Chains A and B, each alone.
Chain A
Amino acid sequence: MQIENRKSKIENKMSMSLQNPVAEKVVAAVIPAAVLDNLAARFRPGGLCLLMLNCDGSLAYSDSAAGLFFQRFAIPMIQYPDPSAGLAERVAAMNPQSAVEVWSAMPGVVLAAFPYVEKRQLCGVMLLAAKGNSFRLGEEVLRVCSRLGLDGIWLNQQAEELPVYGDEAIQRQARLLLGMIRDQVRLAGLECELDSLSGQLANTYEELSLIYQLSSGMKINRRAVDFFKQACLDVMDVMGVRGMGVALQNASDQIEPVMYGSMSLPPGKVHRLADELLTVLTGRKSPLLVNNLPADKTFAWLGDYAKQLIAVPLQRQDQVLGCLFGIDKHVGEFDSVDSKLLNSIGNESAIYLENVKLFEDVHGLMMGLLHSLTSAVDAKDAYTCGHSERVALLSRHLAREIKLCEHDIERIYMAGLLHDVGKIGVPEAVLQKTGKLTPEEFEQMKKHPEIGARILSDIRQVKDIIPGVMHHHERYDGKGYPSGLAGENIPLMGRIICLADCFDAMTSNRTYRKALPLEVALTEIRRCSGTQFDPRLAEAFLGAGGEQFRELLRDYEQQTRRLSDLQQSLRPAAA
């Protein structure tokens, strides 16, 4: 009873004395407290207490779950050491190369110490504390007790169950701890490295998915301006910038410099920026990063609108085709990750740009050749002048009416353009004959679809339109030529061109008759629906209103007339 009373009194006193600022500080050195707690737990059962000191000797860490012997006696003694124990001197004498040392100058406690080193710098001192073999309730221990406000008998009780460590035993434990710390540090380093690699990998993923997204948008028939708009918006999102823009060399025949995003720059300034960037990038051929615009020689003027600028050239071989640029990051500055990302996008875009240009060149060349070819055919027969072009336009319109896809519509236009190309192989005498054809002449005339198909069969790019050329004189009831196909067996292209061909033939002047009035032509189409023409197409044609087609052709005629007038007016000037 008495003892218990005294004990509680002591503990009260103790807790009061421990109102002192006890070490709850985060370790100054780089070991996370959680790691130290883990290590401390490994040594606690062996009656050892883990501590760490900063380089100035102050307590950086102590095992907060250690027994009362350590909490009340050993730790405070280390935390507020008696100068005679020389703890400060020993800490000061530590250097990164120091081996495990045993410090036994403190009464009743034995310490094993070794330096904690990071990057060859001393970052602190690790300590293992245990009850030393010098522990007895002698004068020295009692003196410490009174200094710390402890009851000696109570302390003796706390110490009783603790194992005693000799110098060698505690040194062994300290070496064990040293090994564990090295492992932990290495592990923490590896984890850190793993996180950094994962972070880089995440950036690469970001880049990859962006490039994937862009590549899938690289449709050759897509307008470059749409492609770049999407690219700018995507990059803006991934890179986190206020504005993204693009500028191309020779803007006149491509697209104007343009900027997207929340960043508003007057149009004149966008042009100025584009010109200056193109000049700078044509010279350096590598990404440009400016994180302090007002201080930049070339772009200081932009400092009124923005703080940061990044730009990469779009280049193929040595030629700079244009540039992509970004303005103001939402967070932080432009760095090498950004320039690498934007450079990849720039390279992809340059390839796309080059492909579009090549495609346009080749496509333009081919269409030019095809037009020359049809003009040559039409020229053989003055009365059918412009017929091929009109059939092509009518076919395209009809294809649109029946909601074919854009690709098919364009192929049908081309088929319409070339449908009579086989007439090259028909004698002019037959083509230009004003009277009725003899059966032999008609046989010659009937060969033109096949001749046309044969001429085109050598051109890979137009193979898919051959059915349209081959079968534009088939009839829905099967009585046409050259194959006598009927109904849906006639390729759709052939059925469409057939209708367009007949309509144009009826509504234009021919060698043997004047053009029929529109109403007559439409009535004729209605009459022949299901016999000569596919009824579904005839219906669409009539439904769309022949008037629409007439308008289409009138527009075309006006255009050609204007063109020929222009040519006429130029001729005398040239002569």
Chain B
Amino acid sequence: MTEKTILVADDESHILHVVSLKLRNAGFRVLTARDGQEALEMAQQAHPDLLITDYHMPQLSGLELCQRLKQDTQTSNIPAIMLTARGYHLEPHDTEQSGILRMLSKPFSPRHLLSTVNEVLEGKAA
């Protein structure tokens, strides 16, 4: 199996560290971005197998990021997992316009995130 690449976008560096450590230890290649704009550019260049993004980010929100990726045929097939503040819910109609397959509310369990990542990559979440 080739090494899968996961792009993680969050403006909170501790989330980036925890998530990328967990994913690296699980054998993934991890790219990190600190805001939506940076994530968009990295996704367009690197074509990751999966995007994990925070909802609240400067420049470009996680939702806008996912919608922009969906609109571009080059990146429209990148699945996404969205991290949100607890109690925050997205409208189903919003997620339809994006590649968002799963949502996790913070504080999330890193182990749970990892199993969600595996499910999404194995296509179980589609």
Q: Give A residues with C-beta under 8 Å from B.
A: 194-195, 197-199, 201-202, 205-206, 208-210, 212, 238
Contacts and interface: CB of A to CB of B under 8 A. Distances in A.
B29 to A, nearest CB: 16
Given A194-B17, A198-B17, A206 B111 contact: yes
A202 B112 contact: no
Given A201-B14, A212-B86, A206 B110 contact: yes
B110 A202 contact: yes
Contacts of B111: 206, 238
Contacts of B18: 198, 201-202, 205
B123 interface: no
B21 interface: yes
B56 interface: no
Contacts, number: 34
Interface string B2-15: 00000000000010
B47 interface: no
Interface residues of B, number: 13
A208 to B, nearest CB: 4
B22 interface: yes
Contacts of A212: 86, 107
Contacts of A201: 14, 17-18
A531 B60 CA distance: 62
Among B17, B18, B20, B108, max chain A CB count under 10 A is at B18
A199 B109 contact: no
A208 B108 CA distance: 8
B21 A209 contact: no
A197 B17 contact: yes
18 contacts: A197-B17, A198-B18, A198-B20, A198-B21, A201-B14, A201-B18, A202-B21, A202-B22, A202-B110, A205-B107, A205-B108, A205-B109, A205-B110, A206-B111, A209-B107, A209-B112, A238-B109, A238-B111
A197 B110 CA distance: 14
B75 to A, nearest CB: 28
A199 B107 contact: no
A206 B114 CA distance: 12
Interface string B35-75: 00000000000000000000000000000000000000000
Contacts of A194: 17
Nearest to A209: B109
A345 to B, nearest CB: 14
A194 B21 CA distance: 9
B108 A209 contact: yes
Contacts of A195: 21
